Each structure stands twice: as structure tokens, then as C-alpha cells.
Amino acid sequence: MGTHKEQEWWRGAVIYQIYPRSFQDSNGDGIGDLPGITDKLDYIASLGVDGFWISPFFTSPMKDFGYDVSDYLDVDPMFGTLDDFDRLVERAHELDLKVIIDQVYSHTSDKHAWFEESRQSRDNPKSDWYIWADAKPDGSPPNNWQSVFAVPAWTWDARRQQYYMHNFLPEQPDLNLHNLEVQNALLNVAKFWLERGIDGFRLDAINCGMHDPELRDNPIAPAKFRNETRPCFMQMPKYNMCHDDMPQVLERLRVVTNAYGDIFTVAEVGTPEPLPVMKDYTHGAHRLNTAYSFEFLGSPDLTVERVQEILDGWPGEPDEGWPSWAFSNHDAPRVASRWLQTVEHEQRVKLIALLQVALRGNAFIYQGEELGLTQSHVPFERLQDPEAITNWPHTLGRDGARTPMPWKLNGAHAGFSTGEPWLPIEAAHELRAVATQDADKESTLNFFRRMIALRKSSPALKYGDLEHVEAPDDVLAFIRSFGEERMLCVFNLGESTVDWQPPGYKDLEVLAAVGVNEHGVSKEIPAFGAYAGRIGHG
């Protein structure tokens, strides 16, 4: 492991995720936009994060709220203009913030010009840019593949008299990344945004970018993965995603990004067994920098065994990629409503914050997580998410994690917009508004700021190796080390006080604590208490 100064800017970075529809509205239409983000960049800088990732703001029919792109090279009018984006990047760089944007390479909107041409005939110049297949003799789809949105992964198109494939909505046809012309077109998209000064890409659902050309049926999912809430969870997605050739595409992308300096690349990998895929996509210095999956996002609760299992997947072997961790995002119920529900709210949120900055890997913090926001209840008549509407009331959907940021308690619509917000803002969220918490030094917001500052000041927490410490049941303990610095991190995730003295306890300099007296840590660790501190070398 190199010295502090030798590390890339993104290694160990804390990245703030912005969901633009819900961050800040500048024009009163109830939908957040790019000028609204620019207006709040001082706030983001005040958190101490290294940069931020913006979910899609490209031209789109918004069937999946921007993840159905109809023009990769422009800003949707509801979010602003390219000039607005350029001003955002300029201001972010003035504040020493890196700008990361989404790239959706596995599929487009069905309104994209590429698809509109592709569907016209079987012999036009873009006829092979998407995944087309004939029906079976009985007219049924080519195979048993299922989409995430509870429908078959195939939709009939009468013009071509063929089915086209979509891992998501029928309005999101999958691109054929086996076609080099498609790859080249997407690499040109990357260059377009790199020329505008961005610092990195988050690659949405990139493991869905290639399919099995033989169109073989997916096998039935084993019991441990099987979930009958949706057909796609009843089979293993062996052939509709995670194709062995995908890393070659990522290598081509890395060649492009290398030409623009130290550009950050992170893959989203959603599949029942993500670790081998993430390892493959980040192996060596010629693919992506890092990857994350739903390992924490999908965990219903926080246990010692689960955390250790996830961390053990990234031991730091030669040529191994660098991990990233998200506890909440726009696709998952907020972590404050999933983990440690028997614990008082403030202590719960602060313990989770300390854990996230202590883990080895990048930390992605979703907007509002720093405020301790819980999952909102959105009534059926206000739902926007197609997944929530389709599966109502059997799944939580995603709207509850996408409600607008509360900026102030007494402002119109919590200071988010002067118009009616696209999703409702809960009264409980308004009570946790930024302005209110800003003035309270013991608030969740200010605790997050202190934890991020601690991580940035500690090479061990930012870059260091991780070694598990043997501890009593329900206690998660590990040491992060880099150079001469060693940081001991201890979390009691159980409901009982534990009497335990970890290695290095006697010369421990406590730097952060939750539910524990920071100035007098004793051998007794109270239920759901946690602390982190520097211990002597050796």
C-alpha cells in the first residue's frame, strides 16, 4: 500500500448522491433541477464530501424518471440546459468538489432515435443495435427471461414482427453491446461529457449490458435466492445479464477515461451473486475503479455476520478492485427504516454513519441520509414509481426514498419548491430540515460532518487495510491500518451491554463515539454503542 500522497483522489472518497428531481427546485414547477443543485453546492461542500453523483438529467420521456434516456447528449428541459450543467461543474470545481454523472449503457428509451430507426425494419443501419428475436412457433416470446418490472423481458413489435428485449420497462429496450458500432456510440457519449469537465461516471445496471446470443432459458433460482414477489426473482439471471465479454467493453471505456486524467468509474451490479461480477469488472488497472451492489442496500437488518461476510469479499489481494458501499439510494428503502428498528432514532442513525465511514472502501451517502430521514409513506394516489404502482401494495416501491429534501421547517414545501412538489413531503421530514439541524451541534447532520472529517483526516480509515478482531457475539470489531496509523472500530449490535476489552484498549484515543461516553470509554459497551479511535502501533 502506498503513501497518503500517492493515492488516487477517489480511493476512500465519500461521495454524495443527488437525485435531481428531489434535491432543489429553482423555478417553482415542483421538480428539482440543475440550477437548484448549483444553488446548494455550498451545502454539499459543507458536508466535507469529496464529490457528488447526479442521477440522470438527460432528455427522457421519464417513464423510469430519467433512466430511460432518449438523448444522451442533452439535458431534459425539466432539469435545465447544457449551459446550466456547465455552470454547475464550474461552481463545483471552485468548491473543490468532483462531479460524477450517471451513464445508462445497457438500454435506452424506446423514444431514442436509435431505437426508432432499429424498429423500422430488419435491414436498416441500426437494425442490430438492439436485441431482436423471432417468436416461437406458437407466438410466445423467444425464451423465459423476465424483466425487473414484473413482466416478461420481451415485447412484440408489429413493424419488425419480432420481439425486442428489455431487462426493465418495455419502454427501455436493451442495447446490443455485442455490436461494436453500439460500443463506439456509447464511448462517444462518454467523451462528450468528459469534454465538459466531469470527474467520473457511475455506470447504471452495467451488468445488464450484454446477453447470451443463444438466448438460452434462465435456470430456476435455488431456494436461498427465490422470491415470489416478482417473476424475475424466481429464476437465476444467468443468460440475460453478466455476460463474460462485458469486461472487454469496460476496458475500452477505461482507455477513453484514461485520456482525461484521473477519472473515477463505479459500476452498479445488481444480481443475486454480485461478488464475482464486481471482482471481474474491477480487476487490475485496466477496467473500472470500483463497483457496488445491493449487498447492504438489500439487507433487512444489520448483523455482525452479514457485515463480516460482505467485507471478507474484498481482502485486498493483488489486482483486486476497490469496493464501494451504499446503505441507501434512490432504488432502496432508506436505511433508517430498515436497520436497528429497536434503537432510538438518533443513536441508530449515528451508529450507522460511524459504521459507513469506518468501512474499507468508498462511501456513497444518499441525499437526506445525513439528516436521518426515514422511508416516507406515499399514498397510492400520489405514487409515481411504475414499480410501486404495478406491485401495490406488496412492495414498498421507490417513491418513499425519493421524496424531496427538506431545507427549512417553516418554508413553503420545506424550502424545496414554491410549487407543489412532485412527491409529498412528510411532516416528520420537515422537522429534520437542514436549517434546523444546522443550528444544533448534536444533530445527525453535524454528526455526519464530524464523521466525514474524521475519515478525511485518517489515512487508515480512508485507505487502510481491514483486519477483523475476535469479539463477543453481537460485537463487530476491526482494525483499519495504514502506515503507522491503526484505528480500532467497535460496534455493539446487540441489545445487551457487553463487558469486553479489545486489543489496544489501554492506549486508545477515542475519536468518535455513539451511545458511549467519548471521554471515558469503559470496558462495558452499552447496547448499540460504538466507538472508533487511534491505538498505538504494534
d(CA 253, CA 287): 8
Say how many C-beta atoms besides its own lie within 10 A of residue 454's C-beta. Answer: 20
d(CA 346, CA 339): 13
- Residue 173 near residue 147 (C-beta atoms within 8 A): no
CA distances from 40 to 24, 267, 408 (A): 8, 27, 13
For residue 201 the three cell numbers come to 461516471
Q: Mark whether 312 is an active-site residue.
A: no
| 307: phi then psi, degrees, rounded to nearest 5 | -60, -45
d(CA 240, CA 34): 35
Give the CB-side neighbour count of residue 56, counting CA atoms within 13 A.
26
d(CA 246, CA 104): 14
The alpha carbon of residue 491 and the mean position of all alpha carbons in its chain are separated, in whole angstroms, by 24
For residue 293 the three cell numbers come to 451492489
Residue that the C-alpha cell 445488464 belongs to:
208
For residue 168 the three cell numbers come to 426493465
What is the full DSSP assignment across 338-357?
TS-TTS-HHHHHHHHHHHHH
What is the full DSSP assignment across 4-45?
GGGS-TTTT-EEEEE-GGGT--SSSSSS--HHHHHHTHHHHH
d(CA 443, CA 55): 27
Q: Mark whether 204 is an active-site residue.
A: yes
Amino acid, single-letter form, for residue 149 = F
Nearest by Cα to 45 from 9, 84, 81, 98: 98
498-499 and 524-525 strand pairing: antiparallel
In this structure, is the dihedral angle defined by the CA atoms of residues 433, 438, 441 and 445, taken in order, positive or negative?
positive
Residue in 64, 268, 387, 426 annotated catalytic: 268
d(CA 332, CA 292): 14
| 165: phi then psi, degrees, rounded to nearest 5 | -95, 145
**Could you tell me which residues are beta bridge partners of residue 200?**
100, 264
| 101: phi then psi, degrees, rounded to nearest 5 | -125, 155
Q: Which residues contact 395 (CB under 8 A, 6 or more apart)?
A: 229, 387, 388
Task: Give the orientation angle of helix 246-258 with respect to helix 274-281, to 10 degrees.
Answer: 40
Residue that the C-alpha cell 455493539 belongs to:
492
For residue 169 the three cell numbers come to 420497462
Say how many C-beta atoms besides its own lie within 10 A of residue 457's C-beta. Answer: 11
Question: Burial letters for 211-250: b for 16+ Cβ neighbours within 10 Å, e otherwise?
Answer: bbeebeebeebeeeeeeeebbbbbbbbbbbbbbeebbebb
What is the full DSSP assignment across 463-478?
H-EEEE----TTEEEE
Residue in 84, 204, 280, 331 annotated catalytic: 204
Q: Which residues are catalytic?
A: 204, 268
